[in-house]
Protein backbone atom coordinates (compact mmCIF):
# COMPACT_ATOMS: atom_id res chain seq x y z
CA UNK A 1 0.00 0.00 0.00
CA UNK A 2 1.37 3.40 -1.00
CA UNK A 3 1.70 6.08 1.63
CA UNK A 4 1.92 9.66 0.38
CA UNK A 5 3.96 10.70 3.41
CA UNK A 6 6.83 8.25 2.83
CA UNK A 7 7.24 8.16 -0.96
CA UNK A 8 9.17 10.79 -2.94
CA UNK A 9 7.29 13.84 -4.15
CA UNK A 10 5.37 13.02 -7.32
CA UNK A 11 2.22 13.95 -9.21
CA UNK A 12 0.00 12.40 -6.53
CA UNK A 13 1.28 14.89 -3.95
CA UNK A 14 0.50 17.80 -6.26
CA UNK A 15 -2.95 16.34 -6.93
CA UNK A 16 -3.71 16.20 -3.19
CA UNK A 17 -2.64 19.82 -2.65
CA UNK A 18 -4.56 20.89 -5.74
CA UNK A 19 -7.70 19.10 -4.54
CA UNK A 20 -7.43 20.76 -1.13
CA UNK A 21 -7.09 24.19 -2.79
CA UNK A 22 -10.03 23.48 -5.08
CA UNK A 23 -12.31 22.29 -2.25
CA UNK A 24 -11.35 25.27 -0.06
CA UNK A 25 -12.18 27.60 -2.95
CA UNK A 26 -15.56 25.97 -3.58
CA UNK A 27 -16.41 26.13 0.14
CA UNK A 28 -15.35 29.78 0.23
CA UNK A 29 -17.50 30.60 -2.80
CA UNK A 30 -20.58 28.88 -1.38
CA UNK A 31 -20.40 30.07 2.23
CA UNK A 32 -19.30 33.70 1.93
CA UNK A 33 -21.91 36.44 1.69
CA UNK A 34 -19.33 39.08 0.88
CA UNK A 35 -18.36 39.63 -2.76
CA UNK A 36 -14.67 39.88 -1.83
CA UNK A 37 -14.86 36.45 -0.14
CA UNK A 38 -16.46 34.97 -3.25
CA UNK A 39 -13.65 36.44 -5.38
CA UNK A 40 -11.06 34.90 -3.05
CA UNK A 41 -12.79 31.53 -3.48
CA UNK A 42 -12.65 31.87 -7.26
CA UNK A 43 -8.93 32.60 -7.05
CA UNK A 44 -8.37 29.49 -4.92
CA UNK A 45 -10.21 27.34 -7.45
CA UNK A 46 -8.13 28.77 -10.29
CA UNK A 47 -4.90 28.20 -8.34
CA UNK A 48 -5.88 24.58 -7.73
CA UNK A 49 -6.40 24.11 -11.46
CA UNK A 50 -3.09 25.85 -12.20
CA UNK A 51 -1.26 23.48 -9.89
CA UNK A 52 -2.69 20.54 -11.84
CA UNK A 53 -1.63 22.07 -15.16
CA UNK A 54 1.91 22.63 -13.91
CA UNK A 55 2.22 19.17 -12.34
CA UNK A 56 0.98 17.35 -15.44
CA UNK A 57 3.05 19.53 -17.75
CA UNK A 58 6.28 19.06 -15.81
CA UNK A 59 8.90 16.87 -17.48
CA UNK A 60 10.48 16.19 -14.07
CA UNK A 61 7.30 14.66 -12.64
CA UNK A 62 6.37 12.90 -15.86
CA UNK A 63 9.53 10.76 -15.97
CA UNK A 64 11.55 12.83 -18.44
CA UNK A 65 8.66 13.93 -20.66
CA UNK A 66 5.49 15.89 -20.17
CA UNK A 67 2.61 13.70 -18.99
CA UNK A 68 0.03 15.39 -21.23
CA UNK A 69 2.23 16.46 -24.12
CA UNK A 70 1.82 20.22 -23.68
CA UNK A 71 3.37 22.95 -21.59
CA UNK A 72 1.35 23.26 -18.42
CA UNK A 73 3.32 26.33 -17.40
CA UNK A 74 2.05 28.29 -20.42
CA UNK A 75 -1.54 27.28 -19.77
CA UNK A 76 -1.17 28.24 -16.10
CA UNK A 77 0.27 31.62 -17.13
CA UNK A 78 -2.72 32.18 -19.41
CA UNK A 79 -5.10 31.31 -16.53
CA UNK A 80 -3.25 33.74 -14.23
CA UNK A 81 -3.63 36.54 -16.79
CA UNK A 82 -7.35 35.78 -17.15
CA UNK A 83 -7.74 35.68 -13.35
CA UNK A 84 -6.06 39.07 -13.01
CA UNK A 85 -8.38 40.58 -15.60
CA UNK A 86 -11.40 38.96 -13.92
CA UNK A 87 -10.33 40.28 -10.52
CA UNK A 88 -9.89 43.82 -11.85
CA UNK A 89 -13.33 43.86 -13.48
CA UNK A 90 -15.02 42.20 -10.49
CA UNK A 91 -13.44 44.63 -8.02
CA UNK A 92 -14.58 47.57 -10.15
CA UNK A 93 -18.13 46.17 -10.10
CA UNK A 94 -17.89 45.60 -6.33
CA UNK A 95 -16.73 49.18 -5.74
CA UNK A 96 -19.55 50.54 -7.88
CA UNK A 97 -22.06 48.34 -6.04
CA UNK A 98 -20.68 49.53 -2.68
CA UNK A 99 -20.93 53.14 -3.81
CA UNK A 100 -24.60 52.60 -4.72
CA UNK A 101 -25.77 50.37 -1.85
CA UNK A 102 -23.21 50.99 0.96
CA UNK A 103 -22.72 47.22 1.18
CA UNK A 104 -21.21 44.45 -0.92
CA UNK A 105 -23.52 41.72 0.34
CA UNK A 106 -24.23 39.44 -2.61
CA UNK A 107 -27.88 38.98 -1.57
CA UNK A 108 -28.61 42.64 -2.22
CA UNK A 109 -27.71 42.19 -5.89
CA UNK A 110 -31.17 40.82 -6.71
CA UNK A 111 -32.46 44.31 -7.45
CA UNK A 112 -30.00 44.56 -10.33
CA UNK A 113 -32.13 42.17 -12.41
CA UNK A 114 -33.69 43.87 -15.42
What are the pLDDT digits (tens) for 69-94? 567 788 888 889 998 998 899 888 88
Contact partners, residue 29, CB within 8 Å, separation at least 6: 38, 41, 42, 45
Q: State the burial class of residue 71 (Cβ atoms within 10 Å of its Cβ: 0-12, 13-18, 19+).
A: middle
pTM: 0.76
Q: Going from the N-terminus, what domains does the chain have, and what CATH number goes with each?
A: 12-106 (1.10.287.3510)
What are the pLDDT digits (tens) for 10-46? 788 888 999 999 999 999 999 988 888 888 999 999 9
The confidence score (pLDDT) of residue 17 equals: 93
Amino acid sequence: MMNLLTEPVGISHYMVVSAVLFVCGVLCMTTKRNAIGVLMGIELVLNGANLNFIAFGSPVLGGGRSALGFDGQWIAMFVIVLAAAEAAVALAIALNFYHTHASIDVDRGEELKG
